[in-house]
Structure formats: structure tokens, C-alpha cells
Structure 1
Amino acid sequence: MSEVKAKQRDISIDIAKGIGIILVVYGHLACPVAREIFLFHMPLFFLLSGYFFSAKDSMRIFVKKKTKALLFPFLLFYIFAFIYHFEIFNGDMNIISYIHSFNSFIDPNPHLWFLLSLFEIFVIFFIVEKYIHSEILKLVITCGITLIGYLCAMNKVSFFSFRKLVLDIYFFI
């Protein structure tokens, strides 16, 4: 009977995630180095997510897991943020504030973008890893998605987190 080793946690990954979390919180405070922190704190999380990415499961199981871990929290906080910004509780609702609130519903709360973006990246990379076997074609797809993201960012085209998704995809791979 062969002995199966228990999967060991890599403490350096836990330390990197802990430092990243502290820097995210510190960066969102009024700190003098916030701009510098914003240069790398989210790429760090995307890099770590890509490091642990696996396409072993079936599409159904994979999407179900990622929906539970990323999409449900996004939707829950997204709805709460929309209700909070809807200003229904202060009684001065008019057509202008309704239209403004509807626009804020279409373009999500900026503090939640990473959950949706990470979900989308996971699904795209699952499909690419599972069904595309040519490494060159994978590179072409990644470059094409990034080019689309660049063009969207330059032309200020945004639909949900798509613009951020395609710019963050390189940190994931």
C-alpha cells in the first residue's frame, strides 16, 4: 500500500495573500503611497488566482464552484449597493434620480469589479484550457482579448467588468 502525502500549504503564498490584503486596506485609506500600492495589489491577487487555476473538473462543476465562490457574493453586494444608492429611503425619488440609479445598476459599484472580473477570467481560461490544445492559439486568444480590452479602455467603453477583465487577464496567466 502506497503512502499518500497530505497536500502541504505553501506558507509563502499565504504570506503574499496576507500582505496583499493589508495593502488593499491601506491603499484605500488616505495613505501617501496609495497610487504605488494600486500599481500591484490587484495584479498580485490575479497572479495568485492564476497560480492555483485548474481545469480538471467538468465545465458544469467548475462554473458551479466559481459561481458559489465569486458570482453569488458579487450579486449579493451588488444588489445591496444598488439599493443603498437608489435613495429610496430618503423620500426624494424623482425621474432623474431613477435614471441615475438605473445607470448605476448597469455599471456596477467600482468596489466590486474584481469579483465579476475574476469569475469571467476563470470561465474564459477554463474554456481555453479545456478545449484549445495549441499553445500558439492560446497566446493569440489572450493577446486578442487584451487588445479588445485596451481598445475598450481607450474609448471608455464599459459593460459590467469587461474592460477590467481584458486588461487583467495577463496577470492571471
Structure 2
Amino acid sequence: MNYIPQAENCMKKGGRIETIDIAKGLGILFVVWSHAKGPFTPYMYQFHMPLFFLISGFLFNSRNTPAQFLGKKVRSLYIPFVFWNLCSLLITTALHIQEFSDIHLVKKILKIILTLDKDGKFMGATWFLGALFVVSVVYKLMDYYMPSVKGKSIFLVILFGCVAATGFSINFPYLLSRTLILSFYFAIGRAAKEYKEVIYVYHSGILVCFSIILFAIIGHYNAINMAKNTYTYPFLFAIGALLASYVVIYVSEILQKRTIWIKKALIVMGENSISIVIWQFVVFWIIEAVQFKLFGIPFVQLFENYPPYKTTNGWWIVYLIVGAVASMLIGEIISAVKQGIGRVTKKILMKPYKM
């Protein structure tokens, strides 16, 4: 029997889709898990980023004008990427944690502004924000200015598939090949939303089991490194990422129907996925400092080792849990501070008019 979720039952207050929040929660869990070097990390690296781009494509809003769309993405993706990377770069440079010449520092700042670089020591995962900003804006412009014809989303899948093939074939500077490859999954997510009724006809547990088995085989034989743009079998990576993403969406739909604690936890993680992306490595450094203290390692060596430091004997679980939870707390604190500043500023600005 096909499992066909009803979209109206997946909505919650604020217009968010619970199934999507659960999928994002699973996705960000896999991201932190793989960065913490937990079990099965090589498998997770083969789909967690494509999953996020696919979800972003599914949430693509074709009704907004390019100006409206750009404004939203600047606020949600570009500003967090640029602001926190610049803060990290300038602070670590001032504290001599990183050493740059004046010219090199200016170049680093310009690269961050252009989303071509990020401060890798503390904000390594934020490359995702810059890449998604570029991909979503480019897709929006193409979708908006192309004639509205039937099958346009499929044409864009084919077009971005060619873009991805170029990314696989050529190792562009500034990790642009990775962005080109991931744009393909954004286009697939957009097409999946448009043709979801057709997809649900074949939506079944049998297909999910087949997808899991096939992905496990692909993951076993296919080694990848998206940062270095190396893939044993690029085509199998493209297929495997789709299979695993499909399984995650299916599992998310099932969890959405249940009232269990893991569902609530994943929804919270999904709602706060951006905070986890931004702050997970900062938290990792704190855990690493604790490890250095426990193992008697001189703190002068702390910034010579890229986190995590020690993940055996269950330490990866500490990195996973603390990395996710503390990142969300940091995000909540910053949000509360911003709201407080906003209220104070509003009162100050409005005070003259109340006199």
C-alpha cells in the first residue's frame, strides 16, 4: 500500500511544515554526527548536504518577485554568513590565533563578502549558507525570467544537471565545484514539489527498502570528498544522494504522524538548523579545550588541531550532543539579545513623539 501524506495534516502554527522540519532536523543531526566523526560518517557525507539543498528547493517560493526573494535570502543566509565569518576572522586575527599580512587580510574579507571564502577555523560549516544563497538566487532569476511553460522545472533540472556535471569534471577554485554540484539537488527539490502527486503514486515502503539497500551498496564502494571535489564514481554519488534523501523524507513523514519525543526533538533541531550550522565548530573548540585539560595537553597546541580532537571511547557522542544543543542555546541567546536591543531602540526612537 502506498503511503501518501496529506499536506494539510503536516502544517503547524506559523505555516511551517512539520515533515520538512523533521527532515531538516535529521539532516543537521547527520551533519554534526559526521563532523564529530561518529560511526558511518563516510555514508553520511554522501548525502547530508544534497539533502539540505533538495529541501531548500522544495521550499522555493516562485510567487515572490526577484527583489522580494533576494531581500529574504540576504537576511536569512547572506548576512549571517558574512557577519559571523567577518567577526570570527577579525577576532582571531586580533588575538593572533590566525596570522595574516594586511593585504592577505583584506583579500580574505573581500572573499567572505563575495561568499568565496569563510573563516575555516571557527566557522567551517557556514560555507553552506553562502553556497545556498548563490544557488537559490541564481535559480530564482532563471525561473522568473524564463517563459512560464509546462515542464519548466524539469528543464531546469536538466540544465542544473549539466552544471553539476561540469562541477564534477572541473575543480574550480574557491570550492565552486561543490556549489555547482549541489545546485542540481536544489533544482530537483523544486521539481519534486511541483510533481509531488506523481511521485506519491510510487511512494511505498518497498521502494524505501530498495533505496536503503542500493544506497548502502553505493556508499560502500564510493568514496567522496566534496571539499576536494573527489569522487570514486560521480554518477553513483548523484544517485546515492537522491536515494538517501528520499529515505529521510519518507522517515520524516512517518515520524510526523507519531507523538513521540524524538519527533519533537528533531523539529526543534530543524527549526534551529541555521544556528547549529553557524556555531557547531565554535562549540567543538570548547569541547576540545576540555579534552586538552583532561589529557594534560598544553593549551598552546589547541589551535594547531582542527576539531574534533579525540572521538574514540564515546567522545564523538559528547561532540554530537553538546555541539547540537549548545549551538541552539547560543542561537537563542543571540536572538533574545537582538530582540531586547530592538525593543530598546524602538522605545528610544519613539520617545520624542510621545512627549
User: How would you bin the TM-score normalised by the shorter chain?
Assistant: 0.7 to 0.9
Is residue 14 of structure 1 aligned with residue 21 of structure 2? yes
- In 1: Cα distance, 2:108 partner to 2:11 partner: 44
Question: Does the CA-based 8 Å contact 1:149-1:164 persist in structure 2?
Answer: yes
Aligned to 1:149: 167
Question: Does the CA-based 8 Å contact 2:10-2:19 persist in structure 1?
Answer: no
- In 2: Cα distance, 1:118 partner to 1:143 partner: 16
Question: Does the CA-based 8 Å contact 1:132-1:138 persist in structure 2?
Answer: no
Question: Does the CA-based 8 Å contact 1:51-1:172 persist in structure 2?
Answer: yes
Aligned to 2:173: 158
Aligned to 1:64: 71
- In 1: Cα distance, 2:129 partner to 2:46 partner: 18
Question: Does the CA-based 8 Å contact 1:20-1:41 persist in structure 2?
Answer: yes
User: Which 10-residue stretch deviates more, 55-64 or 137-146?
Assistant: 137-146
User: Which 10-residue stretch deviates more, 6-15 or 60-69?
Assistant: 6-15
Task: Give 1:67-146 correspondences, 5 Å limit.
Answer: 67-86=74-93, 88-90=94-96, 97-98=100-101, 101=105, 105=109, 106=111, 107-109=117-119, 110-133=124-147, 135=152, 138-139=156-157, 141-146=159-164
Q: Alignment partner of 1:53: what SS?
A: coil
Aligned to 2:40: 33
Which structure 1 residue ranges, 5 or more long, are not aligned?
A: none
Which residue, 32, 55, 61 being the options, matches 1:54?
61
CA offsets 1:85-118 (integer angstroms, 9 cap, x no match): 43x324995xxx4266566553323422110110
CA displacement at 1:13 relative to structure 2: 2.0
Q: Alignment partner of 1:32: what SS?
A: coil
Question: Does the CA-based 8 Å contact 2:62-2:144 persist in structure 1?
Answer: yes
- In 2: Cα distance, 1:126 partner to 1:111 partner: 24
Q: Give the direction of change, closer, same or farther, for the CA distance of 1:89–1:6 in structure 2 (3 Å limit).
A: same
- In 1: Cα distance, 2:168 partner to 2:133 partner: 20
- Identical columns (%): 26
User: Which 10-residue stretch deviates more, 57-66 or 127-136?
Assistant: 127-136
Q: Give the direction of change, closer, same or farther, for the CA distance of 1:34–1:132 in structure 2 (3 Å limit).
A: same
Provide TM-score, normalisation by structure 1.
Answer: 0.77
Q: Give the direction of change, closer, same or farther, for the CA distance of 1:58–1:158 in structure 2 (3 Å limit).
A: same
Letter in 2 for 1:138: L
Which structure 2 residue ranges, 5 or more long, are not aligned?
A: 1-7, 112-116, 188-355
CA displacement at 1:164 relative to structure 2: 2.0
- In 1: Cα distance, 2:155 partner to 2:21 partner: 33
